[in-house]
Amino acid sequence: KGVPVIPGDIAVTSGDVARIAAKLGAPLVLKIASKDIAHKTEVGGVRLNVLPADASKVFDEVIASVKKAAPKAKIEGVVVSPMREKGLELLVGIKRDPSWGLMLAVGFGGVLVELMVDVAIAPLPVTPSDVKAMFGRLRGAKLIKGYRGGRPVDMERLAEIVVKIANAAHDLGPGLESLEINPLFVGDDVIEALDALTIWSA
């Protein structure tokens, strides 16, 4: 659907990790891949700034941690991707409301979700102009505009990507309960989804 996603691959064995790590280079992020785990950090399923030489060992540590914390979870492997730094982490979420239908929420993501609780909400469909107005309503809007010498976000591109995410959620059909991209990383020259979670109706 044209939504940029961070490059990476799923490792099932420590040998897979070594191969992927050598291809991607350092530093790396390792995240558990499991449909049964919504909050990966809470079960020790995320490791940041991993050097390629340590990737196989960290892979084993992540698997062991998750198995201990969530023994019933089905583990598909570990996602290995390059570390992204020096940028903003945003939240883009779509949730189905019984009365209003699909609703879009945008705000600050990553560790700032619970810290700032700063989101703007609108019913779908939305236009790029709608999305830009939503980000403008955030309390932390100055961060997006380039606070204290920071580089301002390319709002045209960001708005277009958010609209594509919203359209993708709509196209997934009535069985979709929610789609959350957290974080959507916004750097100097890149905007890409780092993690996503979908929930379907029974």
Query: Which tokens sit at 6?
Result: 């961070």
Q: Determine the average pLDDT of the residues in 163-191.
A: 92
pLDDT over threshold 90, residue 129: yes
Q: pLDDT tens digits, residue range 50-99?
A: 999 999 999 999 999 999 999 999 999 999 999 987 788 899 999 999 99
Contact present, 123 and 144 (Cβ < 8 Å)? no
For residue 183, say if its preceding peptide bond is cis, omega within 30 degrees of 0: yes
Instruction: Indicate the average pLDDT of the chain.
Output: 90
- Cα 132 to its chain centre, rounded Å, is 20
Confidence tier at 202 by pLDDT (50, 70, 90)? low
Looking at residue 51, what is its pLDDT?
94
pLDDT over threshold 90, residue 169: yes
Looking at residue 39, what is its pLDDT?
82
Q: Determine the average pLDDT of the residues in 24-42.
A: 90
Looking at residue 192, what is its pLDDT?
94
- Closest by CA position to 14, among listed 56, 55, 50, 52: 56
Q: pLDDT tens digits, residue range 132-145?
A: 999 999 988 888 88
CA distances from 103 to 87, 106, 132, 170 (A): 26, 10, 16, 10
Looking at residue 25, what is its pLDDT?
83
Q: pLDDT tens digits, residue range 35-54?
A: 899 889 889 999 999 999 99
Query: Which tokens sit at 94?
Result: 């779509």
Looking at residue 114, what is its pLDDT?
57
**Cα–Cα distance, 80 to 8 (Å, whole number):** 5
Looking at residue 111, what is its pLDDT?
57
Residue type, 101: G
